[in-house]
A and B are shown apart, each in its own frame.
Chain A
Amino acid sequence: MKKMSVIFAVSFLAAFFAGSLFAQEVKFAIPLPLTGTNAKFGEIEKRSYEIAMEEINAKGGVKGKKIVLVFEDSQGKPEVARSIAEKLIDVKKQPVIFGEYSSSCSKAIAAVAEERKTPYLVVTGATDDITQQNYKYVFRLNPTNAYYASGLISFFKEVVKPMSIAILYESSDFGTSGAEDMVKQAEKFPMKVLTKEQYEKGAVDFKPILSKVKSEKPDVIYMVSYVMDASLLMRQIKELRIDAKLYAGGAAGFAIPEFIQSAKEAAEYVVTATLWSPQVVYPGAKEFAEKYKKLYQDYPSYHGAEAYSALYIIKDVLTRAKSWTPDGIRVAMKGTNMVTAFGPIRFEDKAGYTNQNFMDTLVLQVINGQFETIWPQKYATKKYVYPIPRWRDRK
C-alpha cells in the first residue's frame, strides 16, 4: 500500500513538472487533404503549420497555453471536409476553424461555419465567390483568383505598355480561369488578344502553336502552365526566336526553381506573377523558407507560407480576443492588422468581398539565372530588365 502511494506521488510530481512549462494546452484540428491527388499540397501545409506551432510554443505559446495541432484528412473531397467541420464545431466545440487546401473544400467548410456561426479562416482556397457571399464568419488571408495577376497587370501598365497579347494555357481549371482573367484584364487595358489557345498537359511539341503566335507578332506572350510545360514553352520560344517585348507566366510552373534548372538560358528575363517567394522582404519569410528547406530539402511553395502565416494570425487573434468564444474570436479577427511572412493581413469589405485580405501580388523576373522580385517596386530586390534583348542578340 505504501509502495503504491509512493508511485502515485512520483507520477503526480512528474506530471506536475511536465505540465509546469505550460499550465494548459489549446488544441486545434486542421482539415487538410493528406491523401488523394492534392496530398502533395496537404503535406507542404502540414509541415508549415508544424514549423509555426513549434516556433510559437518555443516562445511561450498563446497566453501561456501550448498550441497542439492535429490534422484531419479530408482526402480533398468537399463532403468529407464538410463533415470534419461539422464534427469540430458540434462535437469538439472548437471556437475557430482554419485550414483546407482546395477551393471546393474551403467552400464546403465556409457554408458550415457561417451556418453554425463559427469563424473560419480560409488559408489557400482561391475561388472568388467564397468571400463574395456576404458571410460574416468567413475570413480569407490569400488573394482571390481575380487578383493573382494584379501585380503583373500594374507592371504592364507602367513599364511595358503592350498593345497586344497572346495567351497560351493548360486545359485545366487552373489554366482556364487564369486565361479568362487575363482576357478580362486585357479588355479593360485595352490590349488586343491575338490568340487564346489551350493545350493538353504533357504535350511534347509546342512549335506548331508557337509558329502561329510568331506570325501574329504579339507584344506580350502570357502563359499559364504547370511544372515542366513552362520550360518546354520557353525553350521552344527561344528555338523559334519569337521576339515579343515580354514573356510572362501566370505563377505555377514559372515560379518554381525547376523552371530555371530545366529551361536554363531560355528562362532569362521571363517574368511571372506570384503570391509569394522565398525571396520576399516580409519579416520572417526568408527564415521560414530556410528552416523548411533545412528540414525537407526543398523550398516551400506559397501554400506553405500561407499555412505558416495562418497559425500566426490565429495566435494574434487569440491573444487579442476578449473571450475564446466564436463571437469573441470573430470580433478579434475582424480587427486583425499585422504583417506575416506571407505579407500584410487585414480583412476588409470592399469590391463585393467580405472579410477578404487584399495584398499586392508580386512579379518575379529571372535575372542571371535567379528569381528576383521586381514589382511592386517597394518590395523589389533588383531593378527589372526591360526592354529585354532579342534572341539573336543574346550570346
Chain B
Amino acid sequence: MAAQVELFLQTLISGFLLGGLYALIGLGMALIMGVMRIINLAHGDLMMVAMYVAYWLFTLFHIDPYLSVFVATPLLFFLGVGLQKFLINPVMKVESILPHNQVILTVGIGMILANLATVFFTSNYRSTPVSYASKAWYLTDFWKNAPIELSLSAPWSLSFLAAVIITVALWFFLTKTDTGKSIRATAQDIDAALLMGVNVGVMRAVTFGIGAALVGGAGCLFIPIYYLYPSLGKQFTNVGFVITVLGGMGSTEGAIIGGVILGIFESMTATYLGMGWAPVGRFLIFVAALVFLPGGVASILRKQRLGK
C-alpha cells in the first residue's frame, strides 16, 4: 500500500514539475496565436537557439545556465522582433491562394534554424554538466521515520520556480503596463484596437518577440535537466502546439493550465501504462481537446466567469 502511494505521489510530483516547464513553452506559442492568429511552428527551434546560447555561455565562460536566462531572453526577443518585422509581416500582406502562408513560413524558419545549427555546431549531442544536476531533497531527510520516500530534484524545482517567476512577470506586464494592455486589446479585437489608436503592427512585432523570449527562457531552464542537439525543436513545437489547442487557441491562462494537465497526464501514462505510450497519450489529449472541448480550457474559465 505504502509503495503504491509513494509511486502515485512521486509520479504526481514529476508530472507537476514537467507541466510547469511545458506551460512556459506553451505560453509563448499561445500569446503569438492570440495576437497574430497563426501557429508559430518555429517555436521549438527558437528554444533550441536559446539552448545553444546557454550551452556556449556555460562551456566558454562557465556561466550557469540559469543565469543565461538574462542573456538569452533579450537576445531571443530581438530575434523574434526581427523575424516578425522582416519575414512574417511582409508575407502577411501578400494575397495568396493559401490562407495561412505565414504558418508555412514559420515551418521554413524552423527548418533553417535547425539546419544552420547543424552546419555551425554539428549534430553532436551536447549538455551542460552542472554540479547540482542530480542533487535532490528527500522526505526522509526532513522526517526521519516517514513511511514512504519521496524525492524532489533540485534542478527540476529550480527550473519550475523560474518558470513560475517568468509567468508572473508576464502577467504583470500584460495587465499593468500600457504595452501589455495594447497587446491584449489586439488579441481581443484587431479592428477595435486599431480604432482606439493601438499600433497593431508594432504590437505584433513585440508579441512575437515576447513569445520568442518566453520559449528562450524555457530553453535555458531545460538545458540543465536535458540535453541539446540541432533538431530537438520539433518535439517541443509539438508540445507547445498541443498545449495551445488544449488551452484554447491563444488564451494565456488556458496555456498554463493546459501545460500542467499535459505534464501530469504524460507522467501518469508513463507510470501506469508504460513510457512508450506517452507520445500516444499526448496525441490522444490533442484530439480529445479538439473534439470535446473545442474552446479549450479557456472556454471553461470563461463560462465560470460569466456564471458569476
Please report A residues at the B interface, Cβ cutoff 8 Å. 40, 171, 197-200, 202-209, 211-212, 214-215, 227-228, 231-232, 235-236, 238-241, 258, 261-266
B18 within 8 A of A: yes
Pair B133/A264 contact, Cβ less than 8 Å: yes
- The CA of A204 and the CA of B222, in the complex, are separated in Å by 9
- Point out the residue from B127, B232, B270, B278 that lies within 8 Å of A231, measured CB to CB: B127
Some 19 contacts from A to B, beta carbons below 8 A apart, are: A171-B276, A198-B276, A202-B232, A203-B275, A205-B270, A208-B11, A208-B14, A211-B11, A212-B271, A215-B6, A215-B7, A231-B127, A232-B226, A235-B133, A238-B134, A239-B134, A240-B10, A258-B127, A266-B133
- Point out the residue from B131, B153, B235, B270 that lies within 8 Å of A208, measured CB to CB: B270
Q: Could you say which residues of chain B place their CB within 8 Å of the CB of A262?
A: 127, 129, 227
B279 within 8 A of A: yes
B125 within 8 A of A: yes
Q: Closest CB of chain B to A111's CB: distance in Å? A: 32
Contact with A along B218-244 (1 / 0, CB 8 A): 000010011100001001000000000
Q: Could you say which residues of chain B place their CB within 8 Å of the CB of A171?
A: 276
Pair B7/A212 contact, Cβ less than 8 Å: yes
Q: Could you say which residues of chain B place their CB within 8 Å of the CB of A236?
A: 134, 153
Provided the pairs A205-B267, A207-B10, A208-B271 are in contact, do residues A227 and B134 lie with their beta carbons within 8 angstroms? no
Pair A241/B129 contact, Cβ less than 8 Å: no
With a 10 A CB-CB cut-off, give which of A40, A214, A240, A264 has the most chain B CB atoms: A240
Pair B267/A197 contact, Cβ less than 8 Å: no
B254 within 8 A of A: no
Q: Could you say which residues of chain A place their CB within 8 Å of the CB of B11?
A: 207-208, 211
Provided the pairs A235-B134, A264-B129 are in contact, do residues A206 and B275 lie with their beta carbons within 8 angstroms? yes
B90 within 8 A of A: no
Pair B276/A266 contact, Cβ less than 8 Å: no
- Point out the residue from B18, B125, B274 that lies within 8 Å of A205, measured CB to CB: B18
B15 within 8 A of A: yes
The B contact surface, by secondary structure, is helix
Q: Could you say which residues of chain A place their CB within 8 Å of the CB of B6?
A: 211, 215
**In the complex, which residue of chain A has the Cβ closest to the Cβ of B127?**
A262
Q: Which of chain B's residues 132-184 have a Cβ closer than 8 Å to chain A?
A: 133-136, 138, 149, 151, 153
Pair A209/B125 contact, Cβ less than 8 Å: no
The 5 A-B residue pairs with the shortest CB-CB distance in the complex, in nearest-first order: A208-B270, A199-B275, A208-B271, A207-B14, A228-B227
| Contacts A208-B267, A240-B151 supplied; 10 other A-B pairs, CB < 8 Å | A202-B235, A205-B266, A208-B14, A228-B125, A232-B226, A238-B134, A239-B134, A239-B136, A261-B129, A264-B131
Pair A199/B276 contact, Cβ less than 8 Å: yes
B109 within 8 A of A: no
Pair B274/A198 contact, Cβ less than 8 Å: yes
B268 within 8 A of A: yes
Q: Which of chain B's residues 116-133 have a Cβ closer than 8 Å to chain A?
A: 123, 125, 127, 129, 131, 133
Q: Closest CB of chain B to A261's CB: distance in Å? A: 6
**In the complex, which residue of chain A has the Cβ closest to the Cβ of B130?**
A264
Contact with A along B88-129 (1 / 0, CB 8 A): 000000000000000000000000000000000001010101
- The CA of A239 and the CA of B131, in the complex, are separated in Å by 13
Q: Closest CB of chain A to B26's CB: distance in Å? A: 15
**In the complex, which residue of chain B has the Cβ closest to the Cβ of A240?**
B151
B291 within 8 A of A: no
- The CA of A40 and the CA of B135, in the complex, are separated in Å by 35
Contact with A along B232-266 (1 / 0, CB 8 A): 10010000000000000000000000000000001
Contact with A along B1-39 (1 / 0, CB 8 A): 001101100110011001000000000000000000000
Provided the pairs A199-B276, A202-B235, A215-B3 are in contact, do residues A208 and B127 lie with their beta carbons within 8 angstroms? no
- The CA of A265 and the CA of B131, in the complex, are separated in Å by 9
Q: Could you say which residues of chain A place their CB within 8 Å of the CB of B278?
A: 199-200, 203
Q: Closest CB of chain B to A363's CB: distance in Å? A: 24
Q: Could you say which residues of chain A place their CB within 8 Å of the CB of B131?
A: 264
- The CA of A207 and the CA of B12, in the complex, are separated in Å by 10
- Point out the residue from A211, A240, A258 that lies within 8 Å of B271, measured CB to CB: A211
Q: Could you say which residues of chain A place their CB within 8 Å of the CB of B133?
A: 235, 264, 266
